[in-house]
Structure 1
Amino acid sequence: MSGKRILMVVGDFVEDYEVMVPFQALQMVGHTVHAICPDKKAGEKVRTAVHDFEGDQTYSEKPGHHFTLNATFDEVRAEDYDALVIPGGRAPEYIRLNATVIEMVQHFARANKPIAAICHGAQLLAAADVLQGKRCSAYPACSPDVVRAGGQYVNIPVDEAIVDGNLVTAPAWPAHPRWLAEFLKLLGTKIEHLAMAGV
C-alpha cells in the first residue's frame, strides 16, 4: 500500500482529541497528513479545547494542548490531496466563513474523494452544501445544520460511525476507533495483524 496524502483543516479551539488522534494515527499507518489553518503557516500553532461528556446538558470545555500546523494554508491546493479530515470543536463554526475553506471541501465532495468529519465538523459540511441526500452523523446539537443542508441526520451511539459513499461521520471522539477504521477502508488502507513470537 502506498500512503495517501490527507488534508486536515483546523482552527483555534479545534477539539483536542479530534485533531491529535487522527493526525498521529493516520501517519502511523503510512499516510501523509497536512494540517492547515486559515491565516496561519507551517510551524504556527492552534489552541485546542477538550470537550467532555460529564452528565451536563451539553459537553464541558477545558483548555487543551497547543497543536503545531505542518503546512501553510495559502500554499496548499486541495487537488494535490487524496482525502480530507474535518475535526470538530469550536473551529468549524468560524472557519466555514472562509471562502477558500468552503471551496476545498467542495472539491473533495465533487471529486468523490474520502471525507472524514466528526462532531461539529458537520457544520463545515453543511456550509459547503455537500450533504444533500447524504446520511450523516454529528454532535446532536449540529443535527439541524445537517437537516437544513439536505442531509439525513442519523442518531447513533457516541462511539459509532456511519459511512455514506465517500463520507464517514461520527458524533464525537469516543467514536475514534470505528470512525478511523471506516476512513481507512475508504482510503484502501490494508493493515495486517502479525503474530509476535512468544505471544
Structure 2
Amino acid sequence: MSAKRILMITGDFTEDYETMVPFQALMAVGHQVDAVCPDKKAGDSVATAIHDFEGDQTYTEKPGHRFALTATFADIDPANYDALVIPGGRAPEYLRLNGAVLAMVRHFFEHDKPVAAVCHGAQLLAAAGVLKGKQCSAYPACQPEVELAGGHFADIEVTDAVTDGNLVTAPAWPAHPAWLAQFMALLDR
C-alpha cells in the first residue's frame, strides 16, 4: 500500500462517528487526511452530532465531540489529493449550497479518483450532479435525492456498503467495516 493524500470535507454537526472513525482509521494505516470546512482554517473545530438508531421512526441526535480541522479550506486544491471522504450528519445539507465545495466534489469524479460518502453525504453528491447512472447508498431519507439526481438508490443493510466505479457509499456508521474496506481497496488500485 502506498500512502495517499485524502481530503475530507466536513462541517458543523457532521455525524461524530462518520467523521472521527474514517479520519482516524485512514491515518492509522498510513494515509494523510486533511479535514476541511468552508470558512474555517486548520486548528479550528466543528461541532459533531451523534446519530443513533433507538427504535424511533428516524435517528435521534445528541451532542458529539469537537472535531479539529487539519487544513484550511481556502488553501485547498483538490488536484493535490488522491481521494475524497464525505461524512454524513447535518453538515451536507448546507455544504451543498457552497459552490466551491460542489466544484471540489466534481473534481474527484472528473478525474476518476476514489470517493467515499456515507449517510447524508449523498446530499453533496446529488447537488454536485455526479450520481447519474451510479449505484449509491445513503440514509434512507436521502433516497429521493439520489434518484432525482439520476442515481440508483442501493437499498442495502445498514452494515453493508456498495462500490460503483470510483464511488463507495453506505447507509450509516454501522457500515464502517464494509465501507472503509471497500474504500481502502479503491485506494490500492
What TM-score do you get using the length of structure 1 for normalisation? Answer: 0.94
Write the distance in 2 (CA, Å) between the matches of 1:90 and 1:6.
Answer: 22
Q: In the alignment, which residue of structure 2 is the partner of 1:35?
A: 35
> How much does 1:184 deviate?
0.3
> How much does 1:167 deviate?
0.2
- Give the SS at the match of 1:84: strand
- The code of the aligned residue for 1:67 comes to F
Write the distance in 2 (CA, Å) between the matches of 1:125 and 1:87.
Answer: 11
Size of the aligned set, in residue pairs, is 189
Write the distance in 1 (CA, Å) between the matches of 2:144 and 2:2.
Answer: 39
**For structure 2, which runs of at least 5 residues remain unmatched after alignment?**
none
Q: In the alignment, which residue of structure 2 is the partner of 1:6?
A: 6
Write the distance in 2 (CA, Å) between the matches of 1:151 and 1:76.
Answer: 28
Q: In the alignment, which residue of structure 2 is the partner of 1:131?
A: 131
Larger gyration radius, structure 1 or structure 2: 1
1:21 corresponds to 2:11 = no
Q: In the alignment, which residue of structure 2 is the partner of 1:94?
A: 94
Residue-by-residue CA offset, 1:110-141 (whole Å, 9 max, x unaligned): 10100000000000000000000000100000
> How much does 1:86 deviate?
0.2
- Give the SS at the match of 2:130: coil
- The code of the aligned residue for 2:89 comes to G
- The code of the aligned residue for 2:8 comes to M
- Give the SS at the match of 1:67: strand
- RMSD over equivalenced CA pairs, Å: 0.7
Write the distance in 1 (CA, Å) between the matches of 2:2 and 2:50.
Answer: 33
- Give the SS at the match of 2:101: helix
- Give the SS at the match of 2:113: coil
Q: In the alignment, which residue of structure 1 is the partner of 2:71?
A: 71
- Give the SS at the match of 1:120: helix
Residue-by-residue CA offset, 1:56-106 (whole Å, 9 max, x unaligned): 000000000000000000001000000000000000000111100000000
> How much does 1:176 deviate?
0.1
CA contact (8 A) 2:2 2:188 kept: no
Residue-by-residue CA offset, 1:4-62 (whole Å, 9 max, x unaligned): 00000000000000000000000000000000000000000000000000000000000
1:58 corresponds to 2:82 = no
Q: In the alignment, which residue of structure 2 is the partner of 1:197?
A: none
Write the distance in 2 (CA, Å) between the matches of 1:141 and 1:166.
Answer: 23
**For structure 1, which runs of at least 5 residues remain unmatched after alignment?**
190-199
Using the aligned pairs only, state the percent identity. Answer: 69
CA contact (8 A) 2:6 2:32 kept: yes
CA contact (8 A) 2:120 2:139 kept: yes
Q: In the alignment, which residue of structure 2 is the partner of 1:176?
A: 176
CA contact (8 A) 2:8 2:36 kept: yes
